[in-house]
Amino acid sequence: MKCGFVSLVGRPNVGKSSLLNSILGMKLAITSNVSGTTRNVINGIYNDDDSQIIFVDTPGIHKPSNKLGNLMNKKAYNNTEGVDIILFLVDISKGFGKGDKFILEKIKNKNIPVFLLLNKIDLVKNKEDLLKNIAELKELYDFKEIIPISARKKDNVDLLIDCIKKELPEIPESEKIYSEEELTNVTTRFIMAEFVREKVLELTRDEIPHTVTCYVENYYNIFLVQNLYLYHLLGYDHMTEADEKVM
């Protein structure tokens, strides 16, 4: 069977976490319109009949303005080492910009196959422009693959999986890294805290700092505790009667 590690890298908000969720068919990594939503490295474990692929979701690489930004960039760079494939995601609806060129310079000399994924093709109205972009990007670097995708609509995700398998090493099934029951390297407690943070970023603006961090101390009913923590963070004393009925 084929088995290996595949790192997802790119600027903030290009769709790395959305792609991970689409591949796994479940919500694992949080997403939002806020830059820098992904702060931690999360492994998503994909299994099928003939492969096990460990996808490594990394923070968006950006120009840092504080220590948190520097730390996030360092995590992203570190996880382009020791992997079998790098998936370099670009928001093609916005073109290939200076930030993308900067990242390419950082990863192109690592002697690791690089797939260029042109994400958000569903937002590109003129498909002729897309073909022109692909032709131009082929001149920048000898990418192993250039694949237009839509992580949100799952366009070409199956094709991506097939291409990844071709580049991964063959191993005996008994040497798989994870069991089929394992879906990620992070804990349920961590995922719960991330879901709360996602809602904080979605529902608040200036009243809550972007650097907000959430912790889960104890949990019994996963959905109830998430909502209680969210209410606490938003400054409400208690849930309304209507909200309690939803629980």
pLDDT digits (tens, 9 = 90+) for 205-217: 777 777 788 888 8
CB 59 within 8 A of CB 38: yes
Sheet holding 42-48, edge to edge: 42-48, 51-57, 2-10, 85-91, 114-119, 145-148
- Tokens 């809550």 correspond to what residue? 208
pLDDT tens readout for residues 7-22: 999 999 999 999 999 9
Please give the model's pTM, rounded to 2 decimal places.
0.85
Condensed to tens digits (0 to 9), the pLDDT of residues 17-40 reads 999 999 999 999 989 888 778 888
Is 141 in contact with 103 (CB distance < 8 Å)?
no
